[in-house]
Amino acid sequence: MNYYTELKNILDSHESFTITSHVNPDADAICSEIACFLLLKRLNKKVKIINHSPTPDNLKFLDETGDVELYNPDKHDDYIMSSEVVLFLDLNGISRTKSMESILRKSNAKKVCIDHHQEPENCFDFLLVETEAAATGEILYDFIKSTKIMEIDYQIALQLYSAIMTDTGSFRYERTSPKIHAIAGELLTKGVNPTEVYDKIYNQTDLNNLRLLGKAISSITTALNGRVAYMVITQADLRQYGAKESDVDGFVTYCMAVKNVVVGLLFLELEDGIKISFRSKGNIKVNKLAAEFGGGGHINASGARLYDKDIDKLIKNVILEAQKYIGD
C-alpha cells in the first residue's frame, strides 16, 4: 500500500475532521486547507478549518464562503477534541500552530501531516511528507490524481494553482520543474485565470504597505563582502504604517535582488521577540543556518523566531554564523 492509498483510506474511514496550518499562513497553507475542506465536504464528511492566525487580506478572495475560522477556545476546543482526524497542512511541527498547540496535543485524533518541509516532528500518526515537492498544493494534486478520489473542478483547481504559483515564486524558484508547469497548465484548463489570480494576490497592496516596503528596502545593508544582504523592520516601523506581521511577507526577496548576494535576511521586530526570514541561492542551506537559531524550513527558504534577544546582537550573530554556509 502506498502513502496516497493509505491517506485515502484514512479519509474514507473517518467522519469528522479538523484542518489546520501554521502561524501566519501563506497561500500554500490557506489554499491547501481549502482544497482539503472542499474534498472532504464532497465526501460528506464533517469538517472545519481552524487557524491560529487570521487569513491575510490578499488571500481572502480564495475563501469567499468564509470557511477558514479563527481559533477561539470556547468555540472550537470541544469540536477539536471530538474530531477523529486532524489534518496538519504545510507545517512540520504542532508548535507551529501556536495558541492551538495545547488542545491539539491533548486530542486523541489521528494526526495526519501533509507537508513538504524537512525534518517533521515525531508527533504524527501518519506522514505524507515530500521534501522535493514545490508546494503542499503539489502533493495534494498528486494525491487526488493518483487515487482518483474525485475530479479536480474549478474550485479545487483555483486553490491548487494559487498554492503552487505562490510557493514557486510565480514559477521562478529552483523547484519549478517541467512537472510543475504541466500541473499548472492542466489547472488552467479548469478555468483558472492566471492573470486574475496573480493580480489579486500581489497587486492589491495597501499604500501604507508599499511605503513600509520602501522603508525596508532603504534599510538593506550588505555584509561578508557583499554576499549577504539584510533588512530590518522595527515595531516603530509597523506602527508608523499601521502594518502587521503578515504584511511583510515576501519583503526578504528584495535582498536577493542585490548583485552578488547569495543569502538574504529579514529581521522583523515583534512585540514579544524577533522573527528572521532566511533566503538563499543554489546549494546554500539556510535551513541549517535557521536551525542554529531554533528555526527551520527549506534549503533556500527558512525562518526562525526568537524571544528576549537584542536585535543588534542577533544580527551580528546570524551574519557570523552565515559565513560557514557561504564559504570564502
Which of 201, 221, 242 terminates a domain? The answer is: 201
Which of 144, 172, 201 terminates a domain? The answer is: 201
Structure confidence by residue, pLDDT tens digits, 131-175: 999 999 999 999 999 999 999 999 999 999 999 999 999 999 989
Domain that holds residue 280: 207-326
Say yes or no: 49 and 91 in one domain: yes
pLDDT at 174: 87
Q: Tell the residue number behind the cell numbers 492542466, with chain if given.
A: 186
Instruction: Find the CATH number of the domain harbouring 117.
Output: 3.90.1640.10
Amino acid, single-letter form, for residue 125: D
Say yes or no: 184 and 223 in one domain: no
Q: What is the mean pLDDT of each run of 10 residues along the chain (328 residues)?
A: 93 98 96 98 98 96 98 98 98 96 98 95 97 97 98 98 97 94 98 98 94 98 98 97 92 97 97 95 95 92 93 97 88
Say yes or no: 171 and 80 in one domain: yes
Say yes or no: 28 and 155 in one domain: yes
Say yes or no: 66 and 169 in one domain: yes
Query: What is the bridge-based pairing of β-strands 274-280 and 263-269?
Result: antiparallel
Say yes or no: 71 and 145 in one domain: yes
Q: Tell the residue number behind the cell numbers 477534541, with chain if given.
A: 81
Say yes or no: 141 and 125 in one domain: yes
Which of 167, 201, 235 terminates a domain? The answer is: 201
Say yes or no: 297 and 235 in one domain: yes
Say how many C-beta atoms besides its own lie within 10 A of residue 125's C-beta: 12
Say yes or no: 30 and 136 in one domain: yes
Say yes or no: 181 and 217 in one domain: no
Contact assessment for residue 311 and residue 265, using Cβ atoms and an 8 Å cutoff: no
d(CA 142, CA 140): 5
Question: Please, what's the b/e burial string for 190-202 (b: 16 or more CB within 10 A of its CB; e: otherwise)?
Answer: bebeeeebeebbe
Say how many C-beta atoms besides its own lie within 10 A of residue 187's C-beta: 24
Give the chain's domain count. Answer: 2
CB contact set of 28 (below 8 Å; sequence gap of 6+): 90, 135, 136, 137, 163, 164, 166, 167
Say yes or no: 107 and 245 in one domain: no
Structure confidence by residue, pLDDT tens digits, 53-104: 999 999 999 999 999 999 999 999 999 999 999 999 999 999 999 999 999 9
